[in-house]
Amino acid sequence: MNAGDLIEVETKDSSYRGVYMPNSTEEKIVLKLDSGYNVGILKKNIKKSKVLKKFVKKKVKKSKVLKKKGKKTITILHTGGTVASKVDYETGGVSAHFSPEDLIEMVPELGKIANIKTELISEMMSEDMMFSDYQKMVSFIKKSKSDGIILTQGTDTLGYTAAALAFCLEEVNIPVLVVGSQRSSDRGSSDAAMNLICAA
């Protein structure tokens, strides 16, 4: 079974039909039901399961990002978090979008402000960040040839990251902004686009 597959599961007490969702534990599976709700089922309680329909990812044509002369270059470093993510309604999970094309599609105003480059540092919950992760960020930023850096991450420890970088990047003479958001980019109430635009 893979994320996005339509499956049917039978337990001792009931049966469920839904989309198999990604989850972080080995002990259970998570299904998105037709009602829109998610249900977690312990694997030890499953009597039998079968895949009704395999998930096939749709090919999406991406628009090409062109470099514009006279504009500064900003690198967006992605470490995880809601700000550069959106819900994948086919699999039911949240996916990170960190290619220049994805970001320009999400926030087209960025392309009018600067030439955008992107790099994936990690994909994690911000509360799981360690000093080794800060070291990766610092190493990349110090080697960067960009005119500015936007570091996206989850908001839970955003303040700690900003404080750590302030001490580690004293000799770096380009602006480095740490940006998060409360709602993913596909939500009507999302603050992701405005936060990225203001940072750029």
What per-residue confidence (pLDDT) applies to 26?
84
| Residue 130 pLDDT exceeds 70 | yes
Does residue 67 lie within any of the structural domains?
Answer: no
What per-residue confidence (pLDDT) applies to 121?
83
**35, 95: one domain:** no
Closest-CA residue to 91 (of 29, 30, 39, 21): 21
Does residue 64 lie within any of the structural domains?
Answer: no
**45, 78: one domain:** no
Q: What is the mean pLDDT of residues 120-135?
A: 82
Does residue 80 lie within any of the structural domains?
Answer: yes
Reported pTM = 0.66
**93, 157: one domain:** yes
CATH number for the domain harbouring residue 16: 2.30.30.520
**179, 146: one domain:** yes
**48, 77: one domain:** no
Read off φ and ψ for residue 135, nearest 5 degrees: -65, -40
Number of domains into which the chain is organized: 2
Percent with pLDDT over 70 in the chain: 83
**138, 107: one domain:** yes
CATH number for the domain harbouring residue 108: 3.40.50.1170
**45, 128: one domain:** no
**175, 104: one domain:** yes
**40, 138: one domain:** no
Does residue 117 lie within any of the structural domains?
Answer: yes
Q: What is the mean pLDDT of residues 142-153?
A: 92
Does residue 161 lie within any of the structural domains?
Answer: yes
Read off φ and ψ for residue 181, nearest 5 degrees: -150, 160
Does residue 187 lie within any of the structural domains?
Answer: yes
Does residue 58 lie within any of the structural domains?
Answer: no
Report how far Cα 10 is from the mean position of its chain's Cα atoms. Answer: 32
Q: What is the mean pLDDT of residues 140-156?
A: 91
| Residue 101 pLDDT exceeds 90 | no
What range does the domain containing 191 cover? 73-199
What per-residue confidence (pLDDT) applies to 112?
87
Token pair for residue 148?
């500015």
Does residue 87 lie within any of the structural domains?
Answer: yes
What amino acid occupies position 46? I
**159, 195: one domain:** yes
**37, 121: one domain:** no
**140, 48: one domain:** no
| Residue 64 pLDDT exceeds 80 | no
